[in-house]
Structure 1
Amino acid sequence: MTLGLSGKPPEDSTDIAKEFHQLASAAVDLSNAHVSEAGILSIQRSIRDWENDKRKNLLYQFPIMQDPMILPPEEVLQQQPPMSMDPSIQIRLPSPSGKKILIVTKGMSGDKNKPELELWENGALVRKIPTIQQQQKKQERHHGSIIHDPTGFGTASWSPDESYITYVAERLPPTTHAFWEPYKNDNHKDNGGASSSIAGGQHVLGQGYMEEWGEQYVGQSPLLDLYILHLDSGKIGRITNVPGENTNTGDASTTTNGGVTLGQPVWHPTLPKIAYTGWDAGGLGKMPKRLGMVYCRNRASGIYTSDVTKLLQRLQGTITTDETDLVEDKDSDYESVTDAFPYARSPQFLKTGEMIFLANPKAFVSHDSCMGLYKKIGTNSVADCIVPVMDLPATNGPKVSDMGFPGLFVHQLPPNASCGSNHLVLSTVWGSLSRLIRVDLDTKQVQLLDFPLSKGDSRSASSHFLQCQTPSGDWIVSETATNCPASLWLLPHADTVQETKDETIVCENAKLLTKFPAIAASSVSSIQAFHDIPFDMEVISVPTTDDSLPPVQAILTLPKQQKESGKVGLIVIPHGGPHSATISGYVPGFALLASKYAIVFPNYHGSTGFGQAALESLLANIGDTDVKDVMRTTKHVIEEWKDRIDETKIGICGGSHGGFLTSHCIGQYPDFFKAAVMRNPVTNLASMATATDIPDWCHAEALGTYDFTKFRGPDKGELQTMYERSPIVHVSKVKTPTLMALGMKDLRVPPSQGMELFHALQSAGVDTKLLVYPEDNHALNRVATEADHWIHIRQWFNQYLG
């Protein structure tokens, strides 16, 4: 019998696959929560299907009790089996009352670029509205795919009276054909595109070829428009009094160059007015090249409003068969709300008609930052700063993990988030957790909203995420932790609106609504409905050498069975970004490692959730400050938990910038780590700068600056600095056995980065292994890929850490 390093037989790969199956099946990924006036809670859950290599959506519906909507003590909602949603459904959007539901499907053709809209009311399908309609001998195609991108370009929005829906959709590109091919019009017209074809345009940028928004937006039109659907008539109208309508480098029907990309539309509560975000796509001169958008919050953007009075009147009217279904409005010009801000996003209206939004008064080159919360009464008024951008965590007020409020680290403001007449509730990253806060819009006080906890309760290290508000003002909140899949809670309205100046508002009447059972992801094995996650976790602080910045935090996990089996190895997992954070939340891949090894997730300086000064301290210092923080955290954990951690068995694993740090650590500390894993790592900024969809990242992180108004390659001196900041400079010192996983369709960190390091290590005789995923992008999150590469990672650490 072959024995591993621990003297025990090596784990069978089938057993590891079964364990990961249980852990992945326990994951609870929730979205689209809604509570109707009838007290029905609906929420979607995304689950994994290994055999078919895809995700499926399940719809849960629970009746929850009306006012005060509090369950009796100790009672938890009993679940019925969820409904499996048809894969053709792209969007399911209940109206505010819940009496109507809009469903967007791929239509009869199964093509998402030719969607159909369904209106359901009182359980009946009352109307089907195709976006390609026949008018006598002419077809009218309104737009391409309808966008559902809640953390990015936004999604559809109901009008307050539930008569209209505004949504975001792709602008159709021009039609092209080869010089030698005859073109037949076929009486087909694409609105927003061309009514005739461009000869020889199929390979021309802006005609047959589009400059897109990079990673994860491949195949999506870079120009998005806003539309309004009138439910009674079924008519669709495009909002044309918007920025970018006349700023293309050519006519909109002949090019996709230039323009402004529109998204995140919301309705004014009492007026026929839409607020939305516009991103410069080349038409405003602020960013001539479209850079990667996903994960990047520093793309030139502003908030605008458009009056749609006349458009709504036209959509309500009766038209003859000679007219088209698409009605152009002639409303007054749009108004810009945020001219004073280089970056602004996520407009929302309060019930009073006042607008709130996220913005930063200072341009920043990091891909994320602390954001300010602003309120504006009218277009011409000066925006009132409610929560400012904070350089350092507050020294007074509420604390989470012994740290004061660090400022807002929020991607989007939630809809209908007002609490009472003058409060706002939202979730924000606070150190290594996500927590709920209440913001007083008058006094500007920020208070922590928390669950009642007993002293030493492990749930103090859990994260809270706002899901939705009920019609009676209660809040549906999910709670999760690194060792606990999400559960649903109800926070009563009365608890959240209580008049108090206390730093923390404890919602004493918070009630657990439900815990979600596991859903089998595969036929590989049976699973337990509720599985005890086999490790404990806590948030720790690590002293820093810079007293002007907050301490480094980290999440530490330790296997539960360790007490019987002696010391365990430690795996260090630095996050990517670098301007993101590892917050307490359940991730199956991490759980697979944490069930056997101690894990530490360092939130090094540069992470979000610790104030703007800590975040910006990393710019021009990558490969140094972050590496030192990771090593300091690792050594601190080894020393403080030396009775539980085997200091001779230390591994490291990271993706993207986490892979950059992994490569740096095994190069700068060649005798420290016994095994390493990298997932789409950055290895050489100099060779990445002109190959990635985010060249600004290479400049900003290595040099500290970037001019978004001009596009150029790095000069000789800049290339030298980028190279010196890169882990490839230390490659000759590496001894650590290294596993590499690469997605070959990664536009963020091109696979050539990992290949460059892999071949260098292989030629130097370092034990290496390469995993290649031809259809994956940066996230390596296709269902089968996720399972395969995490099982490989567990095997790799088993081989070298025992």
Structure 2
Amino acid sequence: MEESAKKYLKITSYPSSTSAWIRPSAIDGQWSLTVASEVRNPIEERKITQSTTFILRKTESIRLEGRLQGSVRVTNECSECPPSFCVQAHDFGRHSDTAWFTLFCNRNKTFGSLVWSHNERKLAYVAEEKFCKSPSFFNQGASESGSQAKKGEGNAWRESWGELLTKTSATVVSVIDTDTDEVLILDWIPESDSPSQIAWAPDDSGIIGVAYKKHPFRLGVVYCTNRASQIFFASLSDKGYRYLSHENRSVREPRFSPSGDKLIFLECEVGGPHAQTSTLASVEWSSGKWSCLVPLVYESSGDFSGVNGNATLLPLECFSSDGHYLVFNSVHQCAWKIFLLDMVTLKLSCISPELDDSYYCMGFNYDILVAKVSNLLNPNGISAALWQGHLDLKWEVLSEMRRCEPVPTGSSVRMLLSLPASSIFGKGEEKNFHAILTCLPKSGSMKYPLVLFPHGGPHSVFTNEFSSHVAMFTACGYAVLLVNYRGSLGTGEAGVRSLPGRVGVQDVKDCYDALLHVLKSEDFPVDKEKLFLYGGSHGGFLVAHLAGQYPNTFRAACVRNPVTNIATMTDATDIPDWGFVEAGMLYEPGKYGDPEMMKVMFQCSPVSVIDHVKIPVLLLVGDEDSRVPPSQTYSYHRALLSRGVKTKLYNYPDNHALMKPSVDGDVIMHVIGWFHDAMLS
């Protein structure tokens, strides 16, 4: 295990780019590109954020002229972002070397916002509303100074926004005037709205943003793009408030065009699958007229499968200088691609190179496109291109994709596209699905063990971008099969909608069919006697199903925060609608499922086939998980023990993703050890 630990430390030492911004340099004709990256340090149990600045010059293309290593910042690990953090701003002209204001705002990506006005004299931010501490009934003294808090309210429950946001309940927008040091709270925003993702209106007359709806109660929003929300405008001059997008829709990622005449954003249906294919919409700022720029795509065609993906799709800076072109990221089949939209003709073009690697745009400003490039086995590099009004882009490599040293030389990534799907239900089924296989180099007659790895969601997707877990498995001698079963993103909305009502059957069969495809092919040296299962959340749901439905196929299984019984999950999760939707039922807020509904949920859950599980099962659970209740894992563990199945459980003070630097390392080491022991038994 010491060698495995060394491999993991090396794999996690590669930085992962998180953001980029472009600005003119002090030297005429040069441009400064700063890329921020993050490294997880499992030994010191913290993250390290660093920045690298590239000096660029525009010629017929982008030319790299220099590179500078920037600042390094260390942060302690935490299971979720704290509700606030402190930002200090300095004005050395007025206040010498002292901070002249301190503000607190959300660090979480869903609600956190911190934006300067266009004249850079005001700063707007989103913060958690402060509640006065309530004294005890038996406290004879006064409440906090100036507080009107009632006694005995200290333990009143404050509903949160769920997973990763358990300390976020009621957000407010505040504006700091840097000339007067005054703070204005936009208290005319309705209490029914929780503002997020804010930006300044073009003339600094007010704030626009996304307002999440609290009625009748809050539902988890992280990883969920189907929550009721609207684009709002809050006027600073007359304290007006109005909506710019339609009711009963879900919106996100608002961006203004350079001239400020258009506001674009992503929009999709409320309810239904938690991740969907989106519409790209716009609103004319002067008239409020709504229009559709990129419609919903039901069937994938050519190189476009609709606006979709489980990350930010619109870079913060996403327009060409003249505002005529817009770029966005989207998943097509098994890779991230960059698309360019002509705002006049609405013609759409893919501008990523024709490679299997994933290209993800981090910024488009001053007509310079910046992308991070990676594949499953190679950490990301940075490329840039100059937009000159035509599609013949010349991508300049600013930093190469690094070879992940622990991965054996000659290992490769194979895209298994359009695998034929089995007909199970007879109608309304997609015809094919996709998968990705990491292969180790052929060596005579040697065959390798394989890890079957389905993704969670279920409406998510595996893309050909660097994964520390896939690299770790490959470095330890395993081929890895990642399955984008029907219901995944990347194939159009029809594919997404094909799965609800069929979970536990269609997705399980696709995973098994993908495995059979690999085993039957002579191109892949896989040992059919050494097959393993690994997955988390809905991926854990599928692993538990596969272990029960195909008990003689696999040697061992490892599951992370798995859904094991949908019927018992619905009342304890931050997304109670999920179980109803995936079981093929209509969700009505506050309504309990009747016995027949509970029966259907149970029958499509892994617990329905637990009597057939024979293989050793390792369970890994985060006790702070709000998405899949930890009780799902504990009850499944007890059920395995009572049936005499070899099983072990590790629990961590972490949330659903189990991605604290120390936790992630401990998890993958236990998984590698569990598989190794199973091969020897």
Alignment TM-score, normalising by the size of structure 2: 0.91
Distance 1:757 1:379, change over 3 A: farther
Which region of structure 1 is more displaced relative to structure 2, 509-518 or 654-663?
A: 509-518
Displacement of 1:233: 3.0
Provide the residue aligned with 2:150 in structure 1: 198
SS at match of 2:34: strand
**Alpha carbons 1:344, 1:357 under 8 Å: kept:** no
Counterpart of 1:215?
163
Alpha-carbon distance in structure 2 between the residues aligned to 1:691 and 1:575:
22
SS at match of 1:762: helix
Amino acid across the alignment from 1:702: A
- Where 1:233 maps in the other structure, the secondary structure is coil
Q: Which has the higher strand share?
A: 2
Shift of 1:516: 7.7
Go from structure 1 to structure 2 and tell me whether the alpha carbon gap of 1:336 and 1:515 turns closer, same or farther (over 3 Å shift).
same
Sort the Cα spacing of 1:120 and 1:514 in 2 relative to 1 into closer, same or farther, 3 A.
Answer: farther
Match of 1:742 among 621, 630, 633: 621
1:96-111 aligned at under 5 Å gives the runs none
CA-CA distance at 1:60 after TM superposition: 2.4
Structure 1 distance, partners of 2:456, 2:83, is: 32
The offset of 1:575, in angstroms, is 0.2
| Amino acid of the structure 2 residue aligned with 1:363 | V
- 3-state DSSP class of the match of 1:599? strand
Which amino acid letter does the alignment assign opposite residue 607 of structure 2?
I
Secondary structure of 2:139's aligned partner: coil
**Alpha-carbon spacing, 1:741–1:362, altered in 2? closer, same or farther (3 Å):** closer
Query: Which residue of structure 1 aligns with residue 316 of structure 2?
Result: 415
- Alignment correspondent of 1:261: 194
How far apart, in 2, do the equivalents of 1:702 and 1:680 lie? 19
Number of the residue aligned with 2:28: none
Map 1:415-564; keep pairs closer than 5 Å: 415-419=316-320, 420-451=322-353, 460-470=355-365, 472-494=366-388, 497-498=389-390, 505-507=391-393, 509-515=394-400, 535-541=411-417, 542-545=419-422, 549=430, 551-560=432-441, 562-563=442-443
- Equivalence for 1:587: 467
**RMSD over aligned Cα atoms:** 2.7
Contact kept, 8 Å, 2:267 with 2:281, in 1: the verdict is no
CA contact 2:412–2:440 (8 Å) conserved in 1: yes
- Letter of the 1:280 partner, please give it: K
Q: Are the aligned partners of 1:353 and 1:377 in contact in 2 as well (CA < 8 Å)?
A: no
Q: Distance in 1 between matches of 2:410 and 2:662?
A: 24
Q: Are the structure 2 counterparts of residues 125 and 45 from structure 1 closer, same or farther at C-alpha, using a change threshold of 3 Å?
A: farther
Q: Answer yes or no: is the 8 Å Cα contact 1:605–1:618 preserved in 2.
A: yes
Question: Which whole-Å deviations, capped at 9, do the CAs of 1:734-765 have from their partners, x for residues lacking one?
Answer: 11121111111211111211122222222222
How far apart are 1:439 and its partner, in Å? 1.0
Match of 1:118 among 44, 68, 89: 89
Aligned match for 2:454, one of 571, 574, 584: 574
Cα deviation 1:357-406 (Å, max 9, x = unaligned): 33446433111101101111147544111101111112xxx52xxxx433
CA–CA distance in 1 between the matches of 2:187 and 2:564?
45
Residue 69 of structure 1: how far off its partner (Å): 6.8
What aligned pairs does 1:357-436 form with structure 2 within 5 A after superposition?
A: 357-360=264-267, 362-378=269-285, 381-394=288-301, 398-399=302-303, 404-409=304-309, 411-419=312-320, 420-436=322-338
2:125 to 164, 167, 173: 167
User: Any residues of structure 2 matched to 1:13-52 within 5 Å, and which?
Assistant: 13-26=1-14, 28-38=15-25, 39-52=31-44
Greater CA drift, 152-161 or 715-724: 152-161
One-letter identity of the residue aligned with 2:86: P
TM-score normalised by the chain length of structure 1: 0.78
Shift of 1:148: 3.1
Aligned partner of 1:270 in structure 2 is 203
Distance (Å, rounded) in 2 between the aligned partners of 1:421 and 1:360:
21
Instruction: Please give the per-residue CA displacement for 1:650-708, whole angstroms capped at 9, x wherever unaligned.
Output: 1111100000000001111111111111111111111111111111111111133212x
Task: From the superposition, tell whether residues 270 and 565 of structure 1 become closer, same or farther in structure 2 (CA, over 3 Å).
Answer: farther
> 2:340 corresponds to which letter in structure 1?
R
Measure, in 2, the Cα distance between the counterparts of 1:128 and 1:69: 42
Please tell me the residue identity of whatever aligns with 2:663: T
**Displacement, 1:48?**
1.5
| Alpha-carbon offset, residue 639 of structure 1 | 1.0
SS in 1 for 2:519: helix
Look up the match of 1:149. 108
Check whether the contact 1:360–1:389 (CA below 8 A) recurs between aligned residues: no
Equivalent pairs counted in the alignment come to 664
- Give the whole-Å Cα distance in 1 for the aligned partners of 2:378 and 2:409: 7
Q: Tell me what 1:619 maps to.
A: 500
Aligned 8 A contact 1:428 1:437 in 2: yes
Distance 1:332 1:113 in 2: 26
Q: Which amino acid aligns with 1:779?
A: A
Matching of residues 675-754 of structure 1 within 5 Å? 675-707=556-588, 710-754=589-633
Matched, 1:339 2:246: yes
The amino acid across from 2:106 in the alignment is I
**Residue 564 of structure 1: CA displacement?**
5.1
- Between the aligned partners of 1:438 and 1:221, the Cα distance in structure 2 is 36
Change (3 A) 1:157 1:641: farther
Secondary structure in 2 matching 1:405: coil
Task: Supply the distance in 2 between the matched residues of 1:448 and 1:730 (Cα, whole angstroms).
Answer: 44
| Counterparts in 2 of 1:663 and 1:356: CA distance versus 1, 3 Å | same
Q: How far, CA to CA, are the matches of 1:121 and 1:485 in structure 2?
A: 40
Q: CA deviation at 1:340?
A: 4.5
Are the counterparts in 2 of residues 345 and 357 from structure 1 also a CA contact under 8 Å?
no
**Deviation, structure 1 residue 280:** 0.9
Matched residue SS, 1:197: coil
* Alignment partners' CA distance in 2, 1:432 and 1:300: 29
> Where does residue 777 of structure 1 map in the other structure?
655
Deviation readout 1:314-338 (Å, 9 max, x if unpaired): xxxxxxxxxxxxxxxxx24211111
| Corresponding residue SS for 1:476 | strand
Q: Contact 1:393–1:550 (CA<8 Å) still a contact in 2?
A: no
Q: Assess if the C-alpha contact under 8 Å between 1:703 and 1:718 holds in 2.
A: no
Structure 1 residue matching 2:579: 3-state secondary structure: helix
| 2:583 alignment partner, SS class | helix
Do the aligned partners of 1:174 and 1:198 also contact (CA within 8 Å) in 2?
A: no
TM-superposed deviation, 1:204: 2.0
Residues 233-279 of structure 1 deviation map (CA, whole Å, 9 limit, x = unaligned):
3322122342x2xx4xxxxxxxxxxx321011112333523210000
Q: Which residue of structure 1 aligns with residue 135 of structure 2?
A: 177
Cα offset for 1:43?
2.4
Q: Determine if contact 1:434/1:465 at 8 Å carries over to the other structure.
A: yes
Q: Give the letter aligned to residue 350 of structure 2.
A: L
The 10-residue stretch of structure 1 (155-164 or 740-749) with the greater mean CA deviation from structure 2: 155-164
AA aligned opposite 2:291: D
Deviations 1:759-788 (A, max 9, x none): 222222222222221x11111111111111
Aligned-pair identity in percent equals: 25
Quote the offset at 1:174 in angstroms. 3.3
Structural mapping, 1:47-126, within 5 Å:
47-65=39-57, 70-71=62-63, 77-78=66-67, 80=69, 82-85=70-73, 87=75, 113=84, 115-119=86-90
Secondary structure in 2 aligned to 1:115?
A: strand
- For structure 2, list consecutive stretches of 5 or more residues without a partner in the other structure: 26-30
Distance 1:333 1:539, change over 3 A: same
What's 2:671 paired with? 793
Distance (Å, rounded) in 2 between the aligned partners of 1:268 and 1:782: 37
What is the rounded CA distance, in whole Å, between the counterparts of 1:643 and 1:274 in structure 2?
A: 56
Aligned residue for 1:65, secondary structure, equals: strand
Bigger-Rg structure (1/2): 1
Report the CA distance shift for 1:669/1:67 in structure 2 as closer, same or farther (over 3 A). Answer: same
Q: 5 Å matches for 1:210-359?
A: 210-218=158-166, 220-242=167-189, 244=190, 247=191, 259-282=192-215, 288-308=216-236, 310=237, 331-359=238-266
SS at match of 2:601: helix
Partner amino acid for 2:150? I
